[in-house]
């Protein structure tokens, strides 16, 4: 029987049409005409042709004759748009073999459809063996699973899963068909697909499909792995590149910060390269300095006590420093940390520790300390006595500590720490490894330092309280001098953040240690005198932590032997440090802090004391500071007193010192001009003959210092109805007088209080008015009992005002001053202007004691008050605390009742007392 014939269509590389598959290819106009002719000639609606794949010339298959192809139905022929190729869609039906093989080089052109004899050859071999089918299914399922996993679109994933389900269920007979479907659907190598098309035997076909699937799956897996590896390495590279760029930018910025481009360098880019003109370069100098710094750092770590916590941390950080490339940010951070760590005076590295003890052991220590205090300060006898007591205690304790067996053994033979090498990995060269080991194994440095077991100086913490300029800081300095220790002052005013005291943790950018560590570093010894200035102004607990709590840890002798600074993060022994606190007032200091301190009050100086201080200390200091000598400038006593009374009015001597400084500077200019005139040959003779007048008199002061600030205050003070002077202490701890003004204004019997008054002072005002109303008849203010002096004869309001309205005022001590003001207002009698008073009153007319007597009396003395009315219970304060010269110059009246206060204020017989009733009341 003759073989059937089919028109043959050449399918060019890399396309291939497998049975069951569909393929759409672009074809030329000529071929389209041939297909149309075929359509016309054919009886069937969709004519069949043989699609034969023709390999490309570079393909090895190109040299072999082509025999295989696929019988395909022409499904569609379309021409999308004019000028574009026709599209021919074919549907693969079954395998065919060309009876006469064609050679690819002589294959029919794609433009023609020559007829060829063919054989149908799809199902040779019958049913495949079950193992073959099993292997095929396995490979197919693995491949489908990978395809589903790799699919990004969910729909696609679903499709692959469905196909997988079909593969699982397929029968052995249909396995070959399934192989066609799958091989057509997945991508594969052209030669593999060609071979698959040529496999007419089903067994062979399934083998080839299995191989193709396995190959595809492993290609997909490998490429996936490669992709993710490439991805990872790329992102690491990108990250590294990005960080390096940032680092370079930061270094450039830092460099330009430290070396601003010089104006004479025309090229700013080269401005900082700093190449020297000679052989040596400045760059080399930098490198040398850097190496020296590192060597120094290393030495300081080595000097730390072996086995100590600080040394362990130092060694650990040193190793990290060496691992991290120079110039990196982290390197800088570690280096800064190590610089701080090694500059803290640790017991072992603080070379001068023994000196403190030697000074204390000196038998003449207390005598020398007394002499030092006297040399630096005038007066303050009680305070000096207290300080000597304190120093005596410090000395005794230190000596007892030094002679105790534990401490003695500590200072002579230190226990050798266990010398196990640190387990950490040591990187770097052999040499550096040896060096590191040397760091860890260094023999214990011989030291006199007391061990951490030392009890340290556990005396009470001194707290100097007093107004500004009364010598609190300079007393602290004198103590440090007496003890021969460095002095450091830490100002705590306005400290809100705990980290300012304790440091920031190293995780913070730009972190650093706190004030205590900074002070220790500056002091360079572990036993300095540290003055904590203005502890009353430390902020309270807030979201930045509690600075007060941090201070407590610093000051508490039970805790401060292992103070933890967050930055250093190694316990620091503060037990050898002598802390002294200062404060202007006790009111705002937290109770626990106050509890740890022993309060030493400095109330301020009398004019007499100020004169002495000015003459002995302030004036010589200013004369020296301004380059003059004692013979060139003198201030008379009168002028000094004039400055103290009319230009300054303060408890301390700071403004006095400033004013004296201004006078000295003025005279220094005059002296310099005088010298110029003498030296100048052109100066007129009369100028040269003028004598230098180095004495400053009272009447010259106005020309130098301007109009006196306080002149006329006494004169302006007037004796007026309703005005009385009370005594106050300001928030700075300074005493003074304050007018209590009252006025009657039309109204309805109410009391109005102004001047930023607190609740307590307002209540005092109401008590005072109630007392006056109750006793209005006895005081002769009203004509009969039960009459309200604010309603009869005219209804009035009383307005009471305390000037300096911007300052808050509170407390009960203005009670008698307010009462006197109301009595004066309602009775018309006046209180003399040189009388001032203080005292709390009760509703029944008792006068109870108040605080701050010393400051108040001194303030009154400065304000030239002659008579002070005080509560009876405050007598002892005046006797103990007020200087004798002040007591001599002022009259003190101590009162138990309001009646006595009124009598002392207005004078006997001034008020129209109805005597009988007063007597009656006092008997009651």
Ligand X SMILES: Nc1ncnc2c1ncn2[C@@H]1O[C@H](COP(=O)(O)OP(=O)(O)OP(=O)(O)O)[C@@H](O)[C@H]1O
**Residues designated catalytic:** 813, 856
Query: Judged by CB under 6 A, which stretch of 216-224, 649-657, 690-698, 794-802 contacts ligand X?
Result: 649-657
377 in contact with ligand X (CB under 6 A): yes
CB of 669 to ligand X, least distance (A): 23
334 CB neighbour count, 10 Å cutoff = 20
CB of 491 to ligand X, least distance (A): 9
Return the residue of 55, 468, 755, 765 that touches ligand X, per CB under 6 A: 468
How far from chain centre, in Å, is Cα 84? Answer: 73
Cβ atoms of 542 and 494 within 8 Å: the answer is no
| 327 φ/ψ sector (left φ>0, alpha ψ -120 to 50, else beta) | left
Query: Judged by CB under 6 A, which stretch of 178-186, 188-196, 378-386, 444-452 contacts ligand X?
Result: 378-386
Cβ atoms of 291 and 299 within 8 Å: the answer is no
CB of 532 to ligand X, least distance (A): 11
Q: How far is CA 246 from CA 252, 273, 326, in A?
A: 10, 20, 15
Subset of 116-155 contacting ligand X (CB under 6 A): none
Using alpha carbons only, give the angle 752, 755, 757 rounded to the nearest 5 degrees: 80
CB of 475 to ligand X, least distance (A): 7
CB of 388 to ligand X, least distance (A): 16
Cβ atoms of 51 and 42 within 8 Å: the answer is no
CB of 852 to ligand X, least distance (A): 17
661 in contact with ligand X (CB under 6 A): no
607 in contact with ligand X (CB under 6 A): no
CB of 667 to ligand X, least distance (A): 20
Return the residue of 473, 484, 569, 626 that touches ligand X, per CB under 6 A: 473
Return the residue of 55, 128, 450, 471 that touches ligand X, per CB under 6 A: 471
Return the residue of 335, 472, 504, 561 that touches ligand X, per CB under 6 A: 472
Alpha carbons 629 and 705: distance in angstroms, whole number: 21
Which is nearer to ligand X, 379 or 694 (by Cβ)? 379
Which is nearer to ligand X, 378 or 647 (by Cβ)? 378
Query: Judged by CB under 6 A, which stretch of 344-352, 393-401, 465-473, 858-866 contacts ligand X?
Result: 465-473
Cβ atoms of 141 and 168 within 8 Å: the answer is yes
Residue 835 three-state SS: strand
610 in contact with ligand X (CB under 6 A): no
b vs e for 277-290, b when ≥16 Cβ sit within 10 Å of the residue's Cβ? eeeeeeeeeeeeee
320 in contact with ligand X (CB under 6 A): no
Which is nearer to ligand X, 305 or 533 (by Cβ)? 533
Return the residue of 204, 536, 657, 840 that touches ligand X, per CB under 6 A: 657
685 CB neighbour count, 10 Å cutoff = 7
Alpha carbons 205 and 180: distance in angstroms, whole number: 9
Return the residue of 469, 513, 852, 859 that touches ligand X, per CB under 6 A: 469
Size, binding site for ligand X by CB under 6 A: 20
What single DSSP character describes residue 874? G
Q: State the binding string over 418-457 for ligand X (x if CB under 6 A, else -).
A: ----------------------------------------
**Residue 352 bridge partners (DSSP):** none
Query: Judged by CB under 6 A, which stretch of 217-225, 234-242, 337-345, 462-470 contacts ligand X?
Result: 462-470
Q: How far is CA 800 from CA 765, 803, 810, in A?
A: 8, 10, 14
CB of 734 to ligand X, least distance (A): 10
Alpha carbons 30 and 110: distance in angstroms, whole number: 9
Return the residue of 654, 709, 720, 875 that touches ligand X, per CB under 6 A: 654
Return the residue of 23, 98, 613, 633 that touches ligand X, per CB under 6 A: 613
Q: Which residue is nearest to ligand X (CB)?
A: 471
653 in contact with ligand X (CB under 6 A): yes
Q: How far apart are the first and last CA of the chain?
A: 157
Closest Cα partner for 735 from 611, 606, 619?
606
380 in contact with ligand X (CB under 6 A): yes
Q: Where are the alpha helices (DSSP H) in 103-201?
A: 130-150, 154-169, 175-185, 190-198
Alpha carbons 836 and 395: distance in angstroms, whole number: 46
Cβ atoms of 897 and 872 within 8 Å: the answer is no
How far from chain centre, in Å, is Cα 350? Answer: 29
Which is nearer to ligand X, 221 or 608 (by Cβ)? 608
Cβ atoms of 801 and 741 within 8 Å: the answer is yes
Return the residue of 378, 563, 607, 822 that touches ligand X, per CB under 6 A: 378
Residue 531 three-state SS: strand
Q: In the structure encoding, which two tokens stand for residue 609, read together?
A: 């004391």
255 CB neighbour count, 10 Å cutoff = 12
Using alpha carbons only, give the angle 561, 562, 566 rounded to the nearest 5 degrees: 140
Q: How many helices (H) and strands (E) does the chain have?
A: 33, 22
Which is nearer to ligand X, 372 or 411 (by Cβ)? 372
CB of 527 to ligand X, least distance (A): 22
H or E segment and range at residue 207: helix 202-258
Q: State the binding string over 520-559 for ligand X (x if CB under 6 A, else -).
A: -------------x--------------------------
Q: In the structure encoding, which two tokens stand for residue 538, read together?
A: 């430390």
Return the residue of 68, 353, 470, 824 that touches ligand X, per CB under 6 A: 470
Which is nearer to ligand X, 337 or 617 (by Cβ)? 617
Residue 184 exposure: Cα atoms within 13 Å on the Cβ side: 20
Calculate helix-pair angle for 381-403, 365-376, nearest 10 degrees: 150
Which is nearer to ligand X, 612 or 720 (by Cβ)? 612
Query: Judged by CB under 6 A, which stretch of 220-228, 497-505, 627-635, 653-661 contacts ligand X?
Result: 653-661
Which is nearer to ligand X, 59 or 601 (by Cβ)? 601
Query: Judged by CB under 6 A, which stretch of 65-73, 259-267, 309-317, 376-384 contacts ligand X?
Result: 376-384
730 in contact with ligand X (CB under 6 A): no
Q: State the binding string over 30-69 for ligand X (x if CB under 6 A, else -).
A: ----------------------------------------
CB of 584 to ligand X, least distance (A): 6
Cβ atoms of 349 and 448 within 8 Å: the answer is no
Which is nearer to ligand X, 560 or 583 (by Cβ)? 583
Query: Judged by CB under 6 A, which stretch of 471-479, 503-511, 562-570, 860-868 contacts ligand X?
Result: 471-479
CB of 645 to ligand X, least distance (A): 18
Which is nearer to ligand X, 615 or 752 (by Cβ)? 615
Which is nearer to ligand X, 379 or 851 (by Cβ)? 379
Residues sharing a CB contact under 8 Å with residue 192, sequence separation 6 or more, in sequence order: 208, 211, 212, 215
CB of 867 to ligand X, least distance (A): 28
144 CB neighbour count, 10 Å cutoff = 25
Subset of 556-595 contacting ligand X (CB under 6 A): 582, 584
Q: In the structure encoding, which two tokens stand for residue 615, read together?
A: 């003459």
617 in contact with ligand X (CB under 6 A): yes
Residue 733 three-state SS: coil
Which is nearer to ligand X, 250 or 599 (by Cβ)? 599
Alpha carbons 830 and 77: distance in angstroms, whole number: 127
**Residue 66 bridge partners (DSSP):** 102
Which is nearer to ligand X, 470 or 648 (by Cβ)? 470
Subset of 474-493 contacting ligand X (CB under 6 A): 474
Alpha carbons 531 and 550: distance in angstroms, whole number: 16
- Binding site residues, ligand X, CB under 6 A: 377-380, 468-474, 533, 582, 584, 613, 617, 652-654, 657
């Amino acid at each position: 029987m003759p073989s059937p014939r089919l028109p043959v269509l050449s399918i060019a590389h890399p396309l291939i049409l497998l049975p069951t598959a569909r393929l759409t290819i672009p074809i030329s106009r000529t071929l389209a005409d041939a297909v149309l002719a075929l359509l016309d000639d054919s009886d069937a609606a969709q004519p069949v042709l043989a699609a034969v794949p023709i390999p490309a010339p570079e393909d090895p298959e190109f040299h072999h004759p082509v025999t295989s192809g696929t019988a395909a139905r022409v499904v569609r022929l379309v021409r999308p748009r004019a000028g574009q190729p026709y599209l021919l869609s074919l549907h693969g039906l079954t395998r065919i073999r060309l009876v006469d093989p064609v050679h690819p080089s002589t294959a029919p052109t794609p433009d023609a459809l020559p007829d060829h004899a063919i054989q149908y050859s799809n199902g040779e071999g019958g049913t495949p063996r079950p193992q073959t089918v099993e292997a095929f299914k396995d490979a197919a399922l693995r491949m489908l699973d990978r395809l589903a996993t790799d699919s990004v679109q969910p729909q696609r994933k679903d499709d692959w899963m469905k196909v997988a389900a079909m593969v699982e269920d397929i029968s052995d007979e249909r396995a070959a068909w399934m192989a066609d479907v799958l091989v057509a659907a997945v991508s594969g190598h052209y030669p593999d697909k060609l071979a698959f098309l040529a496999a007419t035997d089903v067994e062979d076909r399934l083998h080839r499909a299995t191989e193709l699937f396995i190959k595809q799956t492993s290609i997909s897996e490998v490429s996936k792995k490669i992709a993710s590896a490439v991805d990872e390495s790329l992102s690491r590279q990108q990250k590294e590149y990005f960080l390096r760029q940032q680092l370079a930018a930061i270094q450039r910025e830092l460099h330009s910060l430290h070396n601003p481009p010089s104006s004479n360098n025309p090229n700013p880019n080269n401005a900082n390269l700093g190449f020297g003109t000679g052989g040596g370069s400045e760059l080399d100098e930098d490198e040398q300095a850097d190496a020296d710094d590192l060597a120094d750092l290393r030495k300081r770590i080595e000097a730390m006590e072996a086995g100590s916590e600080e040394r362990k941390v130092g060694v650990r950080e040193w190793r990290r420093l060496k691992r991290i490339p120079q110039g990196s940010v982290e390197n800088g951070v570690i280096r800064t940390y190590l610089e701080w760590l090694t500059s803290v005076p640790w017991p072992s590295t603080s070379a001068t520790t023994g000196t403190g003890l030697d000074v204390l052991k000196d038998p003449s220590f207390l005598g020398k300390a007394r002499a030092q205090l006297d040399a630096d300060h005038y007066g303050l006898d009680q305070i000096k006595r207290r300080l000597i007591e304190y120093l005596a205690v410090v000395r005794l304790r230190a000596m007892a500590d030094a002679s105790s067996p534990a401490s003695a053994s500590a200072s002579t033979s230190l226990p050798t720490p266990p010398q196990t090498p640190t387990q950490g990995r040591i990187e770097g060269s052999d040499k550096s490894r040896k060096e590191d080991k040397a760091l860890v194994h260094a023999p214990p440095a011989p030291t006199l330092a007391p061990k951490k077991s030392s009890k340290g100086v556990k005396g009470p913490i001194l707290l100097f309280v007093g107004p500004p300029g009364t010598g609190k800081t300079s007393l602290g300095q004198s103590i440090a001098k007496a003890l021969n220790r460095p002095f450091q002052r830490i100002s705590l005013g306005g400290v809100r953040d705990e980290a300012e005291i304790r440091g920031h943790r190293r995780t913070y950018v730009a972190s650093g240690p706190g004030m205590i560590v900074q002070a220790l570093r500056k002091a360079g010894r572990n036993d300095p005198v540290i003055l904590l200035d203005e502890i009353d102004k430390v902020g309270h607990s807030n979201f930045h932590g509690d600075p007060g709590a941090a201070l407590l840890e610093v000051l508490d002798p039970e805790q401060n032997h292992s103070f933890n600074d967050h930055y250093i993060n190694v316990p620091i022994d503060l037990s050898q440090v002598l802390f002294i606190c200062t404060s202007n007032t006790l009111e705002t200091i937290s109770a626990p802090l106050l509890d740890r301190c022993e309060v030493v009050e400095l109330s301020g100086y009398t004019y007499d004391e100020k004169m002495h201080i000015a003459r002995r200390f302030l004036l010589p200091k200013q004369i020296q500071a301004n380059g003059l000598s004692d013979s060139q400038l003198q201030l008379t006593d009168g002028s000094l007193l004039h400055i103290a009374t009319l230009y300054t009015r303060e408890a301390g001597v700071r403004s006095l010192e400033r004013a004296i400084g201004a006078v000295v500077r003025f005279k220094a200019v005059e002296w310099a001009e005088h010298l110029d005139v003498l030296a100048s040959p052109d100066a007129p003779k009369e100028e040269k003959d003028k004598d230098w007048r180095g004495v400053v008199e009272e009447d010259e002061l106005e020309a130098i210092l301007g109009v006196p600030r306080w002149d006329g205050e006494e004169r302006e003070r007037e004796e007026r109805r309703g005005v009385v002077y009370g005594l106050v202490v300001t928030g700075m701890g300074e005493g003074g007088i304050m007018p209590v003004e009252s006025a009657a204004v039309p109204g309805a019997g109410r009391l109005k209080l102004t001047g930023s008054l607190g609740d307590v002072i307002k209540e005092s005002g109401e008590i005072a008015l109630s007392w006056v109303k109750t006793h209005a008849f006895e005081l002769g203010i009203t004509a009969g009992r039960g009459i309200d002096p604010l309603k009869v004869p005219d209804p009035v309001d009383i307005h009471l005002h305390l000037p300096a309205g911007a300052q808050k005022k509170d407390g009960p001590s203005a009670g008698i001053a307010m009462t006197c003001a109301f009595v004066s207002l309602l009775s018309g009698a006046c209180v003399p202007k040189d009388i001032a008073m203080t005292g709390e009153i009760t509703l029944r007319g008792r006068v109870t004691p108040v605080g701050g007597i010393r400051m108040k009396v001194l303030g009154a003395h400065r304000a030239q008050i002659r008579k002070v009315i005080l509560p009876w219970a405050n007598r002892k304060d005046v006797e103990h605390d007020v200087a004798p010269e002040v007591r001599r110059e002022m009259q003190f009246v101590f009162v138990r009742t309001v009646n006595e206060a009124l009598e002392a204020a207005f004078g006997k017989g001034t008020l129209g007392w109805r005597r009988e009733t007063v007597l009656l009341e006092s008997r009651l």
